[in-house]
Structure 1
Amino acid sequence: MDSKSKIIIFVDDEIQPIGEFDAPVNFELDTRKLTDGLHQLKIVSKDPSGKEGIRIIPFTVRNGPAITLDGLKDNDVVDGILPMMINAYGKGNQKQFLIFGSETPKNVPSWLWAAIIVFVAWAIYYIITSLG
């Protein structure tokens, strides 16, 4: 009879485990082999007496290019023509940062324009009243 606990690791609902190890184990999960989206890691442990424990950990994989969208939010109710800005960029080889396309330009928010107009109007008023 083995005196160590066994650890069996599954991804999603696969019947075949991706690994079976003696405890304790250091393990690297290669998410590049998984599709982008929701997944779950299922860890089954078996102690020497035959008892089992299970832990399920949900996680999201996002290896593909990041996609940003300006002009439409989740569950918006819309009509007519929607101006949108869409950007997608990858992470490169993770040893070198890709600067081109890695930032999404954004429009200046309307509240900032309003604040600038109010400040300029106040400055003009102050100058006019100070000179007279």
Structure 2
Amino acid sequence: MEIDYRIGMVLEGRVTGIQPYGAFVALDEETQGLIHISECHHGFVEDIQKYLEVGQKIKVMIIDIDEYTKKISLSVRCLEKPFDFSKPKYTRYQHKKYWTSRHVYEGFTPIKQRLDHWVDEALDDISKGK
């Protein structure tokens, strides 16, 4: 059986079955392909049945054909309007600026100065049963 389909072709098919992992689409009387759930829509798709239903005519693009098994992978997502990266989806926010100085070399000195006091407090709390 010779397949007349090529990767990149845009076709119209009919959804023949839906599974949790994707939808089967009949391209003609003998040929069927699969739209994986990740190729159903841009972004996360929790339930494919929110986007497709059995019997629905749908425009699809062939994104892969397995040379040995002749399985055809289809996509609807490729035909959707691409994301426009020139328009920011979120507004930029200003980062907080912290004061630092290269010439201050405190390091762990403040901790070292307070450590004995903290140990004494902890031992007192333990002896009091806190």
TM-score class normalised by the smaller sequence: under 0.3
Higher relative contact order (CA 8 A, sep 6+): 2
Please report the TM-score for the alignment, with normalisation by the length of structure 2: 0.20
**Which of these two proteins has the greater Rg computed from alpha carbons?**
2
The structure that is strand-richer by fraction is 1
